Structure 1
């Protein structure tokens, strides 16, 4: 999965423990025990994480309320995070639902 640099660095440092994704059909089988390989598009930087849990929410606000903003991005306020998520995912995508993917760093290179 691709990540923007700012989020990749937080995952690689082990400080971002919740990855947020829209509930796309291709993520329906994502479950605890899976391994995700994050990368930054156009680079060879890779970071692997174990999936600890996947929780569905109706939208980004409910996700932040349920998970806490600090676990999603410890460097941004709740309001900044909502704005960032909605800049990445338009309202039509958010309407699909949101996934909170609890992750634990395995390795980074």
Structure 2
């Protein structure tokens, strides 16, 4: 189960396991329209590419943070935008090794 917590990231829980907090990314939000869609889309895409749930949740948090820094509902990042947004984050290396750009 995944529960989004806006700027605070999300909580992730597997059956029989306690919930784990996956922190968000601090940004200055200009428009929250589409952030939830960006989060869900990134989470599912990363799971589909074989990433574990915690890595997918961190990537989803980054995608939502990216989305709120842009105006409009269609602001979810593609892989290259997500990698650029994450820059020095350790998740960048995992994302760069998998899937198309």
Q: Provide TM-score, normalisation by structure 1.
A: 0.31
Higher strand content, 1 or 2: 1
Q: Which has the higher contact order (CA 8 A, sep 6+)?
A: 1
